[in-house]
Amino acid sequence: DILRKGRDSLKGYVILFLSLALEGADIIVQALSEGAVDFVLKPGWDGMLAEDFSRELVSKIEVLLSKKPVESTDKVFKQANITESKTGTELVNCPGRAKGIVVIASSTGGPQALRKFLGKFEYVSVPVVIAQHMPPLFTKSLSEQLGKTTKLDVMEATSKVELQSNKVYVITGGKHGVVSDGVLEIIDGPPVNGVKPSADLLFTSAAQAYGTQTLGVVLTGMGKDGLEGSRLIKQLGGKVVAESQESAMVWGMPGEVVKNGLADAVDHLEALPYRVEEIIKWWK
The dihedral sign for the CA sequence 260, 262, 264, 265? negative
Q: Which of 106, 107, 141, 247 is catalytic?
A: 107
Residue 225 bears catalytic tag: yes
Q: Which of 85, 133, 176, 200 is catalytic?
A: 133
Are 72 and 245 spatial neighbours (Cβ–Cβ below 8 Å)?
yes
Q: Which of 38, 200, 225, 267 is catalytic?
A: 225
Residue 176 bears catalytic tag: no
Residue 107 bears catalytic tag: yes
Catalytically annotated residues? 107, 133, 225
